[in-house]
Copies of this chain bind each other. A is one copy, B any other.
Amino acid sequence: MPFTVTVLVRPKAGLRDPEGATVQEALAALGYDGVGRCHVGKVVEFELDAADETAARSAAVEMCERILANPVIEDYEIHV
């Protein structure tokens, strides 16, 4: 059964996020003053053939730990 899996990978809180800082500065330079705590991460979306939602989710967790995210410096969030 095909499931659509969406994985959000973000830098862990407290770690340096130069990309987020750059976006925040760029937004401020364009006049958007009320912007704070800007962070940039990535979104990976794919279709996954699995027996059921639980299997799809546990496969996605394994993929995140192995390749989609760097668990040392990144958090991930999985939506199936």
Contacts and interface: CB of A to CB of B under 8 A. Distances in A.
A44 B63 contact: no
Stoichiometry, copies per complex: 2
Contacts of A2: 36
A57 B68 CA distance: 30
A72 interface: no
A70 to B, nearest CB: 14
A37 B43 contact: no
Interface string A53-80: 0000001000100111000000000000
Given A35-B46, A35-B48, 12 more contacts: A23-B44, A27-B63, A30-B67, A34-B49, A34-B59, A35-B49, A36-B49, A40-B43, A41-B42, A41-B43, A42-B42, A42-B43
